[in-house]
Amino acid sequence: MAMTENTTDDEFVCAMSVRDYECDMQGVVNNSVYQNYLEHARHEYLKTRGLDFATLTREGIIVVVVRAEIDYLQPLKSGDSIFVTAKPVLEKRIRLVFNQSIRHSATGREHVRARIVTTAVSERGRPYFPESLNVLL
């Protein structure tokens, strides 16, 4: 799915393309698939910072999404080349927010704008912001 990834000072960018089976009967990307694109970009971003979810989980750091706010602005179609951005900001003391967008590669047109709120929970289910996540900021 991901073709290339790169990072600027401001945001992470992950290039992808829409696959046929991600589209619904109307020929556009199904709404739930956009969340997969957003999540994939966040996972790839963590990897560029030396983190991955499997390792974090083994270390007892469980990162969870607590809110997803998604604005669907324009539909995407099979074969569209896109790039997904991710820019994390610490909100409050324990919430890491990823401001994200999905844009068409050729036109730059924004198709999706999202605000994904995450937190880490301890093995006992208590929210906190572990020091190891500071590399994301």
Of 99, 130, 124, nearest to 114 by C-alpha is: 99
**3-state secondary structure at position 58:** helix
Q: Are strands 81-91 and 95-104 parallel, antiparallel or unpaired?
A: antiparallel
| Distances, alpha carbon 57 to alpha carbons 51, 53, 64, 78, 90, in Å | 11, 6, 11, 34, 20
Residue tagged active-site, from 9, 24, 52, 80: 24
Report residue 121 as tokens. Answer: 């929970």
User: Active site includes 24?
Assistant: yes
- Catalytic residue set: 24
